[in-house]
Amino acid sequence: MVAIRPQFLDTTKTKTRKPYQSSASKRKNVLEWGDDQAISLVDITWLKPHEQISSKERVQQLYDSVVRCDAYIEPLLVDSATGAILDGHHRYAVGRIMDLKRLPAVLVDYLNDDSISLDMWPGCGVEYLTKEDVVAMSMSEDLYPPKTSRHNCVDLFAPIHVPLSYLI
C-alpha cells in the first residue's frame, strides 16, 4: 500500500464539480465530470497496491477528511488492465478501513499511455524502475517500500466529490 502524495487538485479551478450520470454511465459505474474526465467506481477487491503506505498519520488525516466531507475528493489513478494502483495508496487504505465496496478511480492504459511518466523518489533504494516493474509488483505478494514510484500525470485531474453513499 503506498506512499505517493496525491496531486489531483487543479489550482486553476476553484469549484469542485458535482458528478452526473448518463444512463449509459450508470450501467458501467462511471461518473462523468464534464467532457474531459470520467471517474469509474471500481470494486475495491480488484485494486492492487504496489507500494507500502508511508504514514499511518497520513491515513488518519485522509480518513478524517473523508468523514468530514462525507465523500472522496480525489480519485485513485489505476491501470485499467490490471487494477494496479498507480497513485492513491493512502486513499485505498482509508477505503479498506471504512469497509467500502468501491472507490473512485481514473482508469488509464498505463503501459501504453506515454503521457504518464514514471520517476523514482530520491533515496528510495531502487536503482531502476519501469512501468512493467510497477505492474509486476502489484500482481505479486510483495510491495515496494514507501515513496518508490512517482507518477507525473496526476496533476491533470480536476477535484471530485463522490459521496460515500456511492461507495458503500
Let me know: does 39 contact 33? Beta carbons within 8 Å: yes
Task: For residue range 118-166, list pLDDT tens digits in order.
Answer: 988 888 888 889 999 999 999 999 999 998 998 877 666 778 899 999 9
Task: For residue range 47-65, list pLDDT tens digits in order.
Answer: 999 999 988 999 999 999 9
Decide if 9 is inside a domain: no
Task: For residue range 60-119, list pLDDT tens digits in order.
Answer: 999 999 999 999 999 999 999 999 999 999 999 999 999 999 999 999 999 998 888 898
List of residues 6+ apart from 45 with CB closer than 8 A: none
Decide if 8 is inside a domain: no
Q: How many whole angstroms separate alpha carbon 141 and alpha carbon 147?
A: 18
The count of domains in the chain is 1
Among 91, 98, 93, 84, which Cα is nearest to 164's? 98
29 versus 56: which is more confidently predicted?
Answer: 56
CATH number at residue 93: 3.90.1530.10
Decide if 147 is inside a domain: yes
